[in-house]
Amino acid sequence: MTASRLIPPAVDPASLPRDLPGLRAHFRPVFEEIARGALERDRARLLPFEAVRALGRAGFSVLRVPQEAGGPGVDVRTVTALLVDLAAADSNVAHLYRSHLGFLDALRFQPQPVRDRWHALVLAGATVGNASTERGGNALGTLNTRLTAPADGDDDGEPGAAWTLTGTKYYATGSIFSSHTRVSAAVVRADGSLAPGRGFAVVPVDAPGVSLEDDWDGFGQRLTGTGTAVFEDVAVDPQDVLERIPGSPEAVHEAAWFQLILLAVLAGIARAARDDAAARVAARVRTFNTGLGVPFREDPLIQEAVGRIAAKASAAEAVVLAAADALDASLAAGAATGADRWGFTGPVPPAFAEAELAVEHAQITVPELALGAAQELFLTGGASDTSVAKGLDRHWRNAQTVATHNPIAFRARAVGDYWINGTLPEGLNAIGDAPAAPSSSAVDAAQPAPEPAEAGAR
């Protein structure tokens, strides 16, 4: 890992404020500078490396490092509110921190040596991207990427010979801005058998055999460093092989937290649409003969349009922060019951399911609010607002891109199943090829022949 990949805070992390007003005052100059360059970066597809460096120097990447580890230990609600602020400045920059923040929170459930190692590295300036999703060819619930134990049989994560990581990922969000990336993989034991579930390898992005491409071709969120990651026989230190227990408090919390970060990005986009609408209407001179003949800022119909955008932005943020409160409550319940510690074998506290439910409710409503705000922005002006130079379309493009990450229809069905049948939702943790549907003839052949009906049966 080269020193240039580390961005240590220029302030003592433990001295950072922990309250939202104090943190907003601390980060305001950085966020304002990021906002000033957002339009030009989007137009010219300029990756926000300097924005990431400025945030790292200001301590943004260490906010969730616990106080006992030397960090500020800022709670989920406060970090979520800051993410909304940052997304309003530039949704791409807020989005690319999703992987790092998710990794930091997952550490809370890992063994103490793992927590100690990575908290120290993050305080020294390390950041962690993500490489989980494969583009195709992996069956649902499986991964083609392989993390192979050393042949000497040392596959228990203790210091020893290196493991080997091989595979290709897509959507490696944030990795090109980071010092490390966390890679999900099928775990191959020393005897060649596959371990159940999956594991993670955390590797330096400049390690031999690691290749990152900025080849994401979506029409929105084009500056998040999302793209292909290739791992060719990458050596992995055994202490950076992390186990994931399916259905554990860690798995439930991380799924909810990863989705909440996307929702915070959407709330920030809605706020940006509100601010652009208000600013453009306040400055507009031209009007139409079909209106009242008064400046747009005095026209009640235009005022109503801006008011509706503002209401959507306010509602989106309120829903997101309510879900953040549920995550804070689940972490408090985990600490009270020991469910936040590695090796916990008891039932997952109900607060974790409640947090997942809060996020899933938000996932159904917040995208619609953000997309509505971004769309209705164009009801507050004329055709000139479609100018590429103004870049007002980026709010809708970015919101639509974020909203498609996890299909809303599936979430709505799960929430409905919960309210009807009490079925707890399943967090998103796997994407892959669905099993091929059998042909109708094959289905018929597999069905037992119907028994003769009794006389008079209906």
pLDDT by 10-residue block (mean), the chain, 458 residues: 74 96 98 98 96 98 97 98 98 98 96 97 97 85 92 59 95 96 95 90 97 94 95 97 90 95 98 97 89 91 97 98 98 96 92 96 98 96 91 97 93 96 83 68 41 30
What confidence score (pLDDT) does residue 156 get? 52
The residue behind tokens 């060649």 is 192
Residues of the chain with CATH 2.40.110.10: 128-244
The pLDDT, as a whole number, for residue 3 is 43
Cα–Cα dist 70/9, whole Å = 13
pLDDT of residue 368: 97
Q: Nearest Cα to 107, choosing from 148, 69, 142?
A: 69
Q: Can you give the pLDDT at residue 151?
A: 86
What is the pLDDT, as a whole number, of residue 276?
A: 97
Q: Looking at residue 227, what is its pLDDT?
A: 92
pLDDT for the residue numbered 135: 84
pLDDT of residue 454: 31
In the chain, where does the domain assigned CATH 1.20.140.10 lie?
249-421
- DSSP 8-state class, residue 139: B
Instruction: Tell which residue, 155, 143, 154, has the closest CA to residue 231.
Output: 143
The CATH class, in words, for 128-244 is mainly beta
**Which residue intervals of 284-407 are DSSP H helices?**
300-337, 350-376, 393-403
Alpha-carbon span 199 to 183, nearest angstrom: 8
Query: 249-283 and 98-107 helices cross at what angle (nearest 10)?
Result: 150
Buried b (16+ CB within 10 A) or exposed e, 214-226: bebeeebbbbbbb
Q: Which fold has domain 249-421?
A: Butyryl-CoA Dehydrogenase, subunit A; domain 3 (1.20.140)
pTM over 0.85: yes
Q: Can you give the pLDDT at residue 136?
A: 77
Structure tokens that stand for 363 in this block: 């996932």
3-state DSSP helix/strand/coil % of the chain, to nearest 5: 50, 10, 40
Residue 425: the pLDDT is 84
Q: What's the pLDDT at 299?
A: 94
